Structure 1
């Protein structure tokens, strides 16, 4: 990519696809490619901002750019995500009406990062010379949501596996009053199965790489290759990717230091959001129990019976300790189900296909 100065230039016709002399697929793609090669990753299409992920850091998001785009009319300077955020913020104050910013795109296009830039800019506009706890809490929620809802995929190292709706509320003077974050369509199937060259949710790897040996011992944590949910194994422990476990493929040696840093960042973010130390400990305990649950396998009690039993007690013993439940109760919950028939409560054994 050609290097250039990162100062906002005056707008020109190439900044807005609607101003092209000929509007077609070829001219749009040529214009976007030309701008991208000049490190101009943003282009307008009317009031829509088209962003192309550069997959590298560009120094166009520092406080100087916040000031440069503050109060500017959309299209007055080069296209930038700060310009869109600034226009929405000042329209809200001027018109006293709600504003909505929609971010959409393919996996790896930069939606998560664009959301972070918008939140940073909106909170910077509302601070009015000081930083309140509300702004810090909103910014701290990002790493927490990413840890529990993002995963490494074949196309994106930090792919959001859920939809996210963020509502930022303001006082009349433009300062942030609070925020509501809602997530939906969480990809729950990823927890138990991932595609080749893909990983489970980040938080599992954060704990295994970032915790001290004493902390891991207290939670009965081991190495990623010890867990079915992290190795692409079938429920009976047989590998399903080229006959090899894939934990090492999914968690390379070079990732260790970065994951340790991410674990510390997660703990700091959870504290910033308001999680108490005891609550964090309980959450991490549940995460550890989930990993061990994936290692519980089952077998038929006998050839003639369809009822199942746990194949090996080690994992169920660990889970019962972590969740602080009686091992017999956990065993019953995993191998049977309750039903009601004519005011009579029945306990029916689960079949092998039902427990997998």
Structure 2
């Protein structure tokens, strides 16, 4: 019922109960349409049908959690979150245990959505080192307030072995190509385009940290690596006994498992036989050794997996998690997650067990519908003495060499007359469907999907649901949806009754105490169609008001910043919010429209600088052109060519990609010695170059890493003082001076005349803006910027106070210079008196 109401007709029907024609063709057509439109969930009442999308979908973040929290299942488009919330609400309202049964062929992240993070550890571990074919049952305990207080996981049916271990590091002596390993190359492909093994590997380790057993992670990965190497162990036959061909692998496996190589070799080549009270060792044949090797690998992996579950339970179990909760009465949501029923040309024993488990689950599900009772099939497997499992158990305990043929002969003898032998708390159900065998996000195999739909009895489930009422909704919500939020005629029930009567639908509707019940889908569609017509008129009125608003603000100087937004009905709050956001985007566009597209990146950087400096520093160079690299600009540096050659060499050597800022500066040290340097800040390193030595790198062996910068400090005055604070307490203090270095001093006056034509030489704002931009892009945060007249810095761990002031008394300084400050045993940047006067006037 939710799809048509919330998503639109182009997405088909969101609840199969609302299908106009109920037959297999209509059912499959709707399922296929929704899959092709990216809608992987569809309801059958409160049952969710989920189709594996085989690609990541952005429908599981916090915004979706908030969208479904506290809502009834029919109030939002179909989603597994709705089922999880329904189970939670039922548990709280009735103080009764509930459970969610997830079965079928499914993708891991679809199941994780209803689990805690600990279960994510389990599932993601399965994704990295195992194809996900395992089952688990998890209890989540809640206190009387509905808060989670503990849980417990049981795992079972661990099927197959390994897949996608390329994320393991070389320390385990593995290369990065899974196809080079026998255990990793048994499927069609070790790579799935919709899965990121590297990201999942990181997620596993992160989850292990959260649970608290990250210290054991190296042991787990060593075991996984040992199992992979086990698959490469080959045997040759000497006489009647198997011998290992590649003994070097035995050494590797033994080191990874922390056992002696002789013990590993013995386990692979021999078996222990107990007969007549004696225990003897007997050698394997090559075939027996290969089988034993695979069984050995499976047993190791199973025990490791069980240990992971044990560690998770230790972290979340109610008895261990909080002593205060141990004796507290709690309710439980159980989550049963099992891989689905499948038929292959050759089913493994593990798949046989999975199919049997699904038959038992199907027995629970078919209690909801009048459908084929599969008890006879379950008895075929589990009946005492005569069931398949009982016969297999007898065969395994038969003396001598038991073979598959002997087991099948016994099976056929006992089952020959069985007509199905040769044929292939309050529950909430999630029925999962695999659309194809290729893991393709675009392929919908009709025959494959129809087989699953029929076996799961989904069509019959729809028929049972439609035998009652196809649609139900509380009266107040019905009124809200019917665009009649201001009904004043009495109780909501009276308003709903009036709408139903006006639409001529009374014969198909029943009125309950709190909800309206509609019997057929046709009535639902009729009401929805009328609602759509009503919405059109409401939207037209709203657009007229918005159009009038826009006409008023279009010509205003600030594009409507201070114009009052028109009033709207409460039920159109979300629409109004969307329109307001559109107005803000339009206003921003109009403001930016005069700025050329090529200049907008620089404009963004200037805005970042302005956010930090406006109102705190008198001038910061906003009005001039920002070019980042002034060291190779002839107007700023007479030796620009030498600087350019050195920067090219450094780029090739250190492989940096971008120069954030570069300029001539005047630098000071702890002894208050002023020197001219070329300061270069890249995304990787900060360089200090000596212009007197053809821009030689002053720290070629160990350049300063840009990530060492912890914050910036500038002053509020017109000086060009800048401090780069470093995490090693050896800060860089410079004056972004306009002193230029020219090899031919006769050209100084000529070039200085050119410089006077520039609007402003203040580079402080540009450094702040560009560093802020880099920090946001690289580290997703802003760099700290302090603006102080006097501040503390460190030179090789020794603190010094830094300040700036005007040079007074004595001869005028030709350029800024660092001098000792006797007042606080610090360093003061002395700014030329005439320059200070000029800069101050220019800023006005």
TM-score normalised according to structure 1 size: 0.69
CA contact (8 A) 1:169 1:179 kept: yes
1:288 equivalent in alignment to 2:218:
no
Q: Which residue of the partner structure matches residue 235 of structure 1? A: none
* Match of residue 339, structure 1, among 249, 266, 273: 273
Query: How far apart, in 1, do the equivalents of 2:91 and 2:72 lie?
Result: 14
CA shift, 1:328, in A, is 2.4
1:231-279 deviation per Cα after TM superposition (whole angstroms, max 9, x unaligned): 45xxxxxxxx9xxxx9xx6459x99x943333222211222222142x1
1:206 equivalent in alignment to 2:167:
yes
Q: Which residue of the partner structure matches residue 44 of structure 1? A: 43
CA shift, 1:34, in A, is 4.4
Query: How far apart, in 2, do the equivalents of 1:68 and 1:16 lie?
Result: 19
1:149 equivalent in alignment to 2:145:
no
Q: Which residue of the partner structure matches residue 18 of structure 2? A: 19
SS at match of 1:206: coil
CA shift, 1:294, in A, is 1.7
CA shift, 1:140, in A, is 4.1
1:221 equivalent in alignment to 2:174:
yes
* Match of residue 136, structure 2, among 144, 156, 164: 164
| 1:91–1:327 Cα change, 3 Å | same
Q: Which residue of the partner structure matches residue 185 of structure 1? A: 157
CA shift, 1:82, in A, is 1.9
Q: Which residue of the partner structure matches residue 117 of structure 1? A: 113
CA shift, 1:223, in A, is 4.8
Query: How far apart, in 2, do the equivalents of 1:55 and 1:307 lie?
Result: 47
Q: Which residue of the partner structure matches residue 9 of structure 1? A: 6
| 1:167–1:146 Cα change, 3 Å | farther
CA shift, 1:163, in A, is 2.0
Query: How far apart, in 1, do the equivalents of 2:93 and 2:236 lie?
Result: 67
CA contact (8 A) 2:167 2:176 kept: no
User: Which residues of 2 match residues 247-262 of structure 1 at below 5 A?
Assistant: 250=190, 258-262=196-200
Unaligned runs of 5+ in 2: 291-844
CA shift, 1:332, in A, is 2.2
CA shift, 1:90, in A, is 0.4
* Match of residue 210, structure 2, among 256, 259, 272: 272
Query: How far apart, in 2, do the equivalents of 1:330 and 1:56 lie?
Result: 41
Q: Which residue of the partner structure matches residue 146 of structure 2? A: 174
SS at match of 2:72: coil
CA contact (8 A) 1:11 1:76 kept: no
Query: How far apart, in 2, do the equivalents of 1:33 and 1:227 lie?
Result: 37
1:328 equivalent in alignment to 2:243:
no
CA contact (8 A) 1:165 1:181 kept: yes
1:279-324 deviation per Cα after TM superposition (whole angstroms, max 9, x unaligned): 11211221222122222211121xxx31222223211122222223
| 1:47–1:223 Cα change, 3 Å | closer
Larger Rg: 2
CA shift, 1:138, in A, is 4.4
1:85-114 deviation per Cα after TM superposition (whole angstroms, max 9, x unaligned): 1111100001111111122233xxx45232
User: Which residues of 2 match residues 27-176 of structure 1 at below 5 A?
Assistant: 27-36=26-35, 38-106=37-105, 110-119=106-115, 136-150=117-131, 160-176=132-148
What is the root-mean-square deviation of aligned Cα atoms in Å?
Answer: 3.3
| 1:284–1:64 Cα change, 3 Å | closer
| 1:146–1:76 Cα change, 3 Å | same
CA contact (8 A) 1:11 1:75 kept: no
Aligned length: 284
| 1:280–1:40 Cα change, 3 Å | closer
Query: How far apart, in 1, do the equivalents of 2:262 and 2:199 lie?
Result: 39
SS at match of 2:167: helix
* Match of residue 352, structure 1, among 278, 286, 304: 286
| 1:136–1:231 Cα change, 3 Å | closer
| 1:289–1:271 Cα change, 3 Å | same
CA shift, 1:172, in A, is 1.5
Query: How far apart, in 2, do the equivalents of 1:9 and 1:260 lie?
Result: 37
CA contact (8 A) 1:149 1:186 kept: no
Query: How far apart, in 2, do the equivalents of 1:297 and 1:323 lie?
Result: 19
Query: How far apart, in 2, do the equivalents of 1:29 and 1:331 lie?
Result: 55
| 1:14–1:347 Cα change, 3 Å | closer
| 1:289–1:343 Cα change, 3 Å | same
1:140-160 deviation per Cα after TM superposition (whole angstroms, max 9, x unaligned): 44423432332xxxxxxxxx2
CA contact (8 A) 2:205 2:214 kept: no
Query: How far apart, in 2, do the equivalents of 1:258 and 1:115 lie?
Result: 17
Q: Which residue of the partner structure matches residue 563 of structure 2? A: none
CA contact (8 A) 1:163 1:184 kept: yes
1:207-228 deviation per Cα after TM superposition (whole angstroms, max 9, x unaligned): 1xxx2xxxx24x3334545533
Query: How far apart, in 1, do the equivalents of 2:153 and 2:107 lie?
Result: 16
Query: How far apart, in 2, do the equivalents of 1:330 and 1:171 lie?
Result: 49
CA shift, 1:55, in A, is 4.2
Query: How far apart, in 2, do the equivalents of 1:349 and 1:41 lie?
Result: 54
| 1:144–1:272 Cα change, 3 Å | farther
CA contact (8 A) 1:141 1:269 kept: no
Query: How far apart, in 2, do the equivalents of 1:14 and 1:179 lie?
Result: 37
| 1:37–1:260 Cα change, 3 Å | closer
| 1:295–1:338 Cα change, 3 Å | same
